[in-house]
Structure 1
């Protein structure tokens, strides 16, 4: 059972990391730190800071900052396996590139099921991405799985796997609808003191209905602290 659990995430991570380089491929390294603060048994806050950096752009290996994201979510459990959340994010872009900064508002519904050791999650999100020149409405659906890689229960110090598949629709005035899809896989470790560390990859096909969709590869790393 342990070998079977390891096989799926390893194959997924290898396949994502080996995406064939194309002329329209862009790759990023995105580290993130997050803090989860539990106010009560049903209400919690999440604060995060993420930094996105180019590592492959215009067929050239590089390292330069693209943006900085500061976000906050308020999460409310409405049942044992369901929750709703409101989020606000500010993206600092003009400091690093000739692009507008962005304010993002998010409304979210999440439901999970855990019949055995594997937990399944469905997430619906509506977002308003606001810049000085345009407001884009985005609608997202994500299916995710996570499970421990040793035994049936996650204990401190043990590894786990998180995988997800997500579809997105973006609509804005005077613009054609844009369809994106994303697949990701990450390995994580449940450390002591409420700390979790995750690392993995994500592959995105942006505007996949276009004549030439954009291929985007992310190398992800995150540190999460739960208080």
Structure 2
């Protein structure tokens, strides 16, 4: 396991500079702040504020691409599975005249599977996106795996490696599209109430678009409270 962790960290160290200085992809910084709580052993809620900032446009009004408050809930089932739903509101380019909005409704199922003595997290999500210019349905599947970097269990004050991949397809009556999001990151588990995560995500977008595939690198900084 230690050798595997070393290899993963080596790959991350090599890829980060390449991604960060890419000249042919959009570069985004995405800070997030979230708070979650439970009203019972099974029912939990989460609020989050997410902001998308264009690194290339940091000196002008196009710097803020999106401001997105979010609300989700989940209900625990047997075997570690969860069902839930939520609502997002997205305000696009708020500093530019003629900004656009999006109302997003979602339903999701989460479950875990075994990988040796570790757990893989799966999430299947269906979204309805009501935008100022159009309506779109989207189906998303995410696979994630967190690896403690000190021992086999994650304790207070320890760090962990984050690996994620999410595939999605957007569709409606007239068109379809697809995207893939691969993420590597590092998390700090301060205690059961607080954690901080730093991640780099590579998005392959517009896979089925006539205009060709586009690329985006997103630097995510996330602080979570309970």
> Normalising to structure 1: TM-score of the pair?
0.89
CA distance in 1, matches of 2:205, 2:84: 26
**CA–CA distance in 1 between the matches of 2:9 and 2:82?**
27
Cα distance, 1:13 vs structure 2: 5.8
Deviations 1:96-155 (A, max 9, x none): 344411110010001113455532011111001112331110001111111211100000
Q: Is the 8 A contact 2:176 2:208 kept in 1?
A: no
Structure 1 runs (4+) deviating above 3 angstroms are 114-117
In the alignment, structure 1 residue 82 sits paired with structure 2 residue 94 = no
Aligned partner of 1:216 in structure 2 is: 216
The count of residues paired between Structure 1 and Structure 2 equals 221
Contact 2:149 2:158 in 1 (8 A): yes
The answer to whether the 8 Å contact 1:43/1:75 transfers is yes
| Root mean square deviation of aligned Cα | 2.1
Q: Which residue of structure 1 aligns with residue 172 of structure 2?
A: 172
Give unmatched runs, 5+ long, in structure 2. Answer: none
Are residues 65 and 94 of structure 1, via their aligned partners in 2, closer, same or farther at CA, if it must alter by over 3 Å? Answer: closer
> Structure 2-normalised TM-score?
0.89
- Mapped partners of 1:22, 1:209: distance in 2: 23
- Identify unmatched segments of 5+ residues in structure 1: none
Give the C-alpha shift of residue 9 in structure 1: 4.1
Asked whether the equivalents of residues 9 and 185 of structure 1 are also in contact (C-alpha less than 8 Å), the reply is: no
Q: Report the equivalent of 2:31.
A: 31
Between 1 and 2, higher relative CO (CA 8 Å, sep ≥ 6) is seen in 1
Q: Which position in structure 2 is the counterpart of 1:137?
A: 137
